[in-house]
Amino acid sequence: MKFTKMQGCGNDYIYIDGAREQIPAAQKPALVRRISDRHFGVGGDGAIFINPSAEADFEMEMYNADGSRAEMCGNGIRCVGKYVYDFGLTDKNDISVISAGKVKYLQLFLKDGKVDTVRVDMGVPILTAEDIPVTAEKGREKERVINEPLTIQKQHLAGESVIVKREEYKMTCVSMGNPHAVIFVDDVDGLDLEKIGPDFEHHERFPNRINTEFVKVIDRSTVKMRVWERGTGETLACGTGCCATVVACILNGLTDHTVTVKLLGGEIEITWDGVGSPVYMTGPASTVFTGEFPI
């Protein structure tokens, strides 16, 4: 199977032309797990099949590294735009891509005849609890979850006793086609995400699991963020997470409407004019290498 590895701010996926490489649906989860393995496979945060579509110019069929399906990836969809233009699947600078039934619109910016950066209309963020989804108290399912407490429990043995430690965080929840919980912290560099990330991902309040962004506000136009992605773990960047982060910042009155999000893998610019408006994401897309993988 021919593939291309690409990355946006270090958020790397393996891309497959679904029109040429017609893999049976039942085989894809296992194939994604093998090819995403960083020791025995190509290595990546997951795999994306670029398919023909009747509803848009292309379909993005996305999988996490554990083989589970995902609805949307901001860095991934920028790389889809680069892939289809650079490999001659389109000659348009403005394209549409559908993923999990939602159409996104991409503007491609070229450098030396290749796509360098991509601006994506990521759509209007979803803010109601039941649609994100996040479990709310009865009667509050249609309300927003803004700066709301979330208790994380940790258990450990002390001799023959089990000690339960509870930590309370404040979360703001947003869906950008996939669910996010944004947690504002004083220090992102010192966080042990390998330990705390799974506690958020599998918390009972998130029926579809959750992507969690840990965010430090630097000033009104700049934030720093680390992310724990469901089904993958910590990644160097998350495009939808950047969008959710800036939406959460604005809802909490912490930033202006255009914000640079600093990530482990680079920077992404997000613009949101407020409730009812779409989120716009602008960032880089790069090709790493192409190759073949046994199936």
Active site residue 73: yes
The full DSSP string for 60-128 is EEEEETTS-EES--HHHHHHHHHHHHHTTS---SEEEEEETTEEEEEEEEEETTEEEEEEEE--PPB-B
Q: Which of these is catalytic: 9, 79, 173, 238?
A: 238
Give phi and psi for 129, each to the nearest 5.
-55, -50
Q: How many CB atoms lie within 10 A of CB 107?
A: 15
Nearest alpha-carbon partner for 214 in 152, 153, 276: 152
Question: What residues contact 238, with CB distance under 8 A and at least 6 apart?
Answer: 11, 73, 74, 75, 211, 213, 227, 229, 263
- Total residues belonging to the chain: 295
Burial of residue 281 (CB within 10 Å: 0-12, 13-18, 19+) is buried
Q: Which of these is catalytic: 9, 73, 79, 249?
A: 73
Verify cis geometry, omega within 30 degrees of 0, for the bond prior to 133.
Answer: yes
Give phi and psi for 241, each to the nearest 5.
-65, -35
Q: How many whole angstroms separate alpha carbon 258 and alpha carbon 221? A: 6
Active site residue 249: no
3-state helix, strand, coil in the chain (%, to 5): 15, 45, 40
Asked whether the beta carbons of 108 and 81 are under 8 A apart, the reply is yes
Active-site residue numbers?
A: 73, 238
